[in-house]
Amino acid sequence: MNELEFNIDNSQIGFRLQYLELLNWGTFHNDIWRIDPNGNNSLLTGSIGSGKSTLVDALTSLIVPHHKINFNKAAGAEKNERSLMTYIKGEYKNTKKDETDAKGKAVTLRYKDTSDTTFSVVLANFSNVGYATNITLAQVFWIENDKAQKLLIISNKPLTVKEHFRN
């Protein structure tokens, strides 16, 4: 074996998450929210309800087909507790009129009724140091005719919400 084979740094092999950005995804509302693992292994911590599962679901929405996603799985939620629509609308609780009201009415940060317009952006940039390549996956979500709509963007350049999606 060649001596060079033992000196190769494999710590950054493959495509690794550089950053994740969100705009209007779940309770991450109005501002651009960003995490920067910079290709390193990272630990996501926080109190119950702080948004850990929401971040995981955002990343999942970029890399898993939507018909296969079980949102909020990381938190052990019921199968239909969260959906793409609840994330776009920014649902954060249910209000019950009284004890006989089984489910209650969802309270949302965005999209109160069909006259409202809103959109959500989830964007992740990955790089592969070994091949000096970069890829950004982004999705823009909106509600049209009471259904979630989405547009997938794939770029070999780093994109950001502020520069490429804000307006």
* Closest among 137, 139, 146, 140 to 85, alpha carbons compared: 146
Q: What is the DSSP letter of 129?
A: G
- To the question of pTM greater than 0.85 for the whole model, the response is no
**Across 60-73, average pLDDT:** 86
- Check residue 12 and give its pLDDT: 66
* Exposure on the CB side of residue 62, measured as CA atoms within 13 A: 25
User: How many Å apart are CA 114 and CA 102, to the nearest integer?
Assistant: 24
Region of poorest pLDDT, from 46-50, 76-80, 101-105? 76-80
- Those residues with Cβ within 8 angstroms of residue 34's Cβ, 6 or more apart along the chain or in another chain: 19, 20, 21, 22
**How far is Cα of residue 53 from the mean position of the Cα atoms in its chain?**
9
* Closest among 71, 85, 87 to 122, alpha carbons compared: 87
Whether the predicted pLDDT of 28 surpasses 90: yes
Q: What is the DSSP letter of 137?
A: E
Tell whether the torsion through CA atoms of 143, 144, 145 and 147 is positive or negative.
negative
